């Protein structure tokens, strides 16, 4: 197993490892790398859906998808390029923050990838928090924010009044490393508890822009056979759609997390 850094702010590439052979001891070492680098890339894998599920279960219980899951595999959904106009992931976000206990990690396995483009970008929210001034940290450390899936429900033609909503601390403590990270995103965060939407807007806009500064970012250029996992507890991500109608086929699953603290 060879490990090299992916980029200065985050990420590691783990080569010469067939994830189908990972045992409990190796998974423990990989989790140490995961908590350190927040993104792990495993190139040149040859996985069935069952193989991907078995590897992911080293990190906990998987999150079932009630709609659109892969036949026979309720924990996996298929992500296929349907064109830029139908791509709903072109924004910085952490997955499912509108749930009371959002997933701890997301894992993607690429079956097809464009020769150029179609990258996934990541932004390290631990570094984003650490770079705030002491005064700003004192403020955001006390705040709780409301996250909502209502806009997502409207996008999919569902009743927004039935959409999930949750409140989480604006500064989240990583449940394994203890590191503090910003935990807001433009996609789902609506306002601060006991603040109006208008009052919340100015500070949220600042945090949104601050959280994705270039020095916190890294990108992964997909190749067929890449297995990538990232930490939803301390990262934002963005699916870059710059590859037109070039094929991109990915299997996605998630591991259940704890309520943010």
pLDDT tens track, the chain, 261 positions = 999 999 999 999 999 999 999 999 999 999 999 999 999 999 999 999 999 999 999 999 999 886 678 999 999 999 988 765 555 666 899 999 999 999 999 999 999 999 999 899 999 999 999 999 999 999 999 999 999 988 777 766 778 787 889 999 999 999 999 999 999 999 999 999 999 999 999 999 999 999 999 999 999 999 999 999 999 999 999 998 888 888 889 999 999 999 999
- Domains of the chain (ranges plus CATH)? 2-255 (3.60.130.10)
Cα–Cα dist 144/195, whole Å = 10
Question: What count of other Cβ atoms lies within 10 Å of the Cβ of residue 16?
Answer: 10
Cα–Cα dist 123/220, whole Å = 12
Handedness of CA 182, 227, 87, 6 (dihedral sign): positive
Pairing of strands 249-255, 73-80: antiparallel
- Write down the pTM of the prediction: 0.94
Strand partners, 217: 123
The total number of residues shown for the chain amounts to 261
How many helical (H) and strand (E) elements, i.e. helices and strands, does the chain have? Answer: 6, 16
């Amino acid at each position: 197993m060879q490990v090299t850094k992916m980029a200065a702010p985050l990420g590691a590439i783990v080569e010469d490892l067939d994830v189908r052979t990972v045992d409990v001891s190796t998974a423990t070492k990989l989790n140490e790398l995961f908590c350190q680098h927040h993104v792990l890339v495993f190139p040149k894998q040859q996985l069935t859906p069952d193989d991907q599920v078995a590897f992911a279960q080293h990190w906990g219980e998987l999150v079932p998808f009630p709609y659109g899951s892969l036949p026979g595999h309720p924990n996996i959904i298929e992500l296929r390029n349907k064109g830029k106009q139908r791509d709903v992931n072109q924004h910085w976000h952490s997955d499912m923050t509108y749930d009371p206990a959002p997933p701890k990690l997301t894992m993607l396995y690429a079956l097809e990838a464009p020769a150029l483009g179609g990258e996934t970008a990541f932004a390290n929210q631990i570094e984003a928090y650490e770079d705030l001034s002491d005064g700003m940290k004192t403020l955001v450390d006390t705040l709780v924010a409301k996250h909502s899936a209502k806009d997502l429900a409207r996008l999919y033609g569902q009743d927004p009044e039935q959409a999930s909503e949750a409140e989480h601390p604006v500064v989240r403590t990583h449940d394994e490393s203890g590191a503090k990270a910003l935990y807001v995103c433009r996609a789902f965060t609506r306002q601060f508890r006991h603040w109006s939407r208008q009052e919340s807007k100015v500070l949220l806009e600042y945090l949104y822009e601050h959280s994705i500064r270039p020095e916190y970012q890294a990108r992964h250029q997909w190749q067929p056979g890449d297995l990538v996992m990232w930490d939803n507890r301390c990262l934002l991500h963005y699916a870059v759609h710059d590859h037109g109608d070039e094929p991109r086929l990915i299997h996605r699953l998630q591991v259940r997390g704890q309520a943010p603290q």
